[in-house]
Amino acid sequence: MKTQFLLIVYDISNDKRRAKLHNALLNYGTPVQYSVFECHLTPKNLNNLKNAIQKIIRNRKDNVRYYLLCGTCASKIEATRKEEARKSTPVHTIVV
């Protein structure tokens, strides 16, 4: 099944919700900064992830953004540390 490369960025002021979201995201991708994750997900897993996030966050207080990147864009990722540049190699693929 084809996966999509996704960058998830969040801004949550509540420490408990932020930690809970961070821990949940560890099941779907790789943190590249504390509030930034890179994920390779199937459409089904992306839907599951969004549902899990909705159960954690408060819509009026928290902000979560999803950036879907095409394969060409993902292959052009640059980072100052080589190990952080994920390029087009899947980090995690989760099949449910």
35-61 pLDDT, tens per residue? 999 999 999 999 999 999 999 999 999
Residue 10 near residue 27, CB atoms below 8 Å: no
pLDDT of 93 reads: 40
Burial class (CB in 10 A: 0-12, 13-18, 19+), 4: middle
Res. 82 pLDDT band, cuts 50 70 90: low
Residue 94 near residue 4, CB atoms below 8 Å: no
Task: Check whether 85 has a pLDDT greater than 50.
Answer: no
Which tokens in the block code for residue 40?
A: 């390779």
| CATH number of the domain located at residue range(s) 4-84 in this protein | 3.30.70.240
Beta bridge partners of 67: 7
Torsion 67-33-1-72 (CA) sign: positive
pTM over 0.85: no
Residue 30 near residue 2, CB atoms below 8 Å: no
